[in-house]
Structure formats: C-alpha cells, structure tokens
C-alpha cells in the first residue's frame, strides 16, 4: 500500500496528485470515487464551488477524467479496468438545478447533498456511454452503500445524533458492510464487462428516473467540463 495525498476539494491538489501518479508509470485497474461530505453548512471550496457539489461531484469528475488515459491503457478485452463511484439513496429525491448548481439562490444542506449524489449517477451513465462509444475496455458503475455508521453524520442535528447513537447497532451497516457493494463492483467476475449499472446490496437495481435523461447527462457533462477547466471532447460524440 502506498499513500499519495489528494484533496478532492481542490482542483490544484487533484492535478498534482494525477501528475505524481503518472510519474510512477503504474497501471490503473480500479478507481473508486468515495470521498464526500454531508449536510455541511453553506461554505465553499478553495476554488469557490459550493462544498457538496465541488467535493462530492466536481472533484471526482476531474479526477476520473484526468485518469481516463491510464485506465484505458490498463484495461483489456478480458479484464476491463473499472470505475466505481459511490452515490447515495438520497439521489432519488435530488433535483439538478443546471442554472444554479452552486445553490446560490436558496441553500439547503439536504438539497445540495442530494443534488451532488444525483450528479454522480448522471455522470456515471454518461461516462459509460462515452466509454462504449470509444470502444474502451473500461466500465463505469455507481454504488449505493446504504446507511453506514461513519463520521459522515457529524453535521446532522444533535437529536439525530442521539438517535443514531442509540440505534446504529440495529439499523446501520458497519463500514465493512457498507464497503461490500463497492468491493463487489471492483472485483467480482460477475461484473466483468458490465457498465452503466446502479448497484445496491451487490445487486443491480433501478436508479431515479431522471438519472436516465440522456440530454440532462450531456448538459451536466458539458457544464462540468467548463467548471473544472477541461476540454469537452465528448461534444464530438453522440
């Protein structure tokens, strides 16, 4: 195990990380996008993005795009490289506000978090479409880990914290249990060559209807490219 520092809330840090990784000339077979914050008070990343959208979504969007060449070079016909992005069941209630992705008009921690998780699902589906169109030996899937007992809940109301403390052993998954579907997506032979899936409890299931809107997927992708400062090569594809 080798550690390389990467702050997903900083575009500069992400670019530095990718540069360091490329310098090692290592293959890249699995990328798991799993960083995140939840229900934080209104605040911005160093780049001026609303924190949920900037860290949970844009950070992973940029990281994945900058590592795509390494993933494509590492995947083969019989062993595809795999991209696994961790979303949440909250994406089902999320709404994507293309005209206000930074939640400047009306900030709600719950709304901003749900939007960032919906964006991850839309991103994954669009990414898989582009990978297939390019004939790449890379698959992209999205995972719902379930309700897991971690420090992610530190910004919820104190009443919720008390209830969580009292009931976590009964209703919450352990971190190990929460990671199981991500691991399944990363290494299971059953997932070889399968992309564009939404996985929960190691099974393929249906995501929110809006996540399958291909026009919304395209528009989000184009806008995301502008926000992180990369070229939208996908604009030349259907």
Give the residue numbers marked as catalytic. Answer: 113
What is the total residue count of the chain? 238
In degrees to the nearest 10, what's the CA dihedral of 95, 146, 57, 184? Answer: -130
Strands of the sheet with 198-200, listed across from one edge: 30-33, 81-86, 138-144, 198-200, 203-205
CA atoms of 64 and 221, how far apart (whole Å): 12
Q: Which of 238, 226, 230, 196 is nearest to 98 (CA)?
A: 226
3-state secondary structure 21-57: HHHCCCCCCEEEECCCCCCCCCCECCCCCEHHHHHHH
Provide the terminal-to-terminal Cα distance of the chain, rounded to the nearest Å: 40
């Amino acid at each position: 195990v080798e550690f390389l520092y990467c702050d997903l809330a900083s575009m500069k840090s992400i670019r530095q990380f990718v540069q360091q990784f490329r310098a090692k000339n290592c293959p890249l077979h699995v990328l798991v996008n799993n960083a995140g914050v939840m229900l934080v008070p209104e605040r911005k990343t160093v780049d001026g993005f609303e924190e949920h959208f900037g860290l949970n979504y844009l950070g992973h969007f940029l990281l994945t795009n900058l590592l795509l060449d390494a993933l494509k070079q590492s995947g083969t016909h019989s062993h595809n490289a795999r991209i696994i992005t961790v979303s949440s069941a909250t994406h089902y209630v999320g709404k994507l506000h293309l005209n206000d992705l930074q939640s400047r008009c009306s900030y709600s921690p719950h709304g901003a978090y749900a939007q960032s998780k919906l964006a991850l699902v839309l991103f994954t589906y669009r990414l898989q479409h582009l990978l297939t169109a390019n004939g790449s030996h890379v698959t992209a899937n999205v995972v719902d880990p379930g309700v897991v007992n971690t420090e992610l809940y530190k910004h919820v109301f104190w009443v919720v914290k008390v209830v969580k403390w009292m009931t976590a052993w009964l209703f919450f998954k352990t971190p190990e249990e929460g990671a199981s579907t991500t691991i399944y997506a990363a290494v299971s032979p059953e997932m070889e060559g399968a992309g564009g899936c939404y996985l929960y409890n190691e099974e393929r299931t249906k995501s929110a209807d809006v996540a399958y809107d291909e026009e919304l997927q395209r528009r989000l992708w184009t806008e995301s490219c502008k926000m992180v400062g990369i070229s939208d090569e996908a604009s030349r594809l259907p």
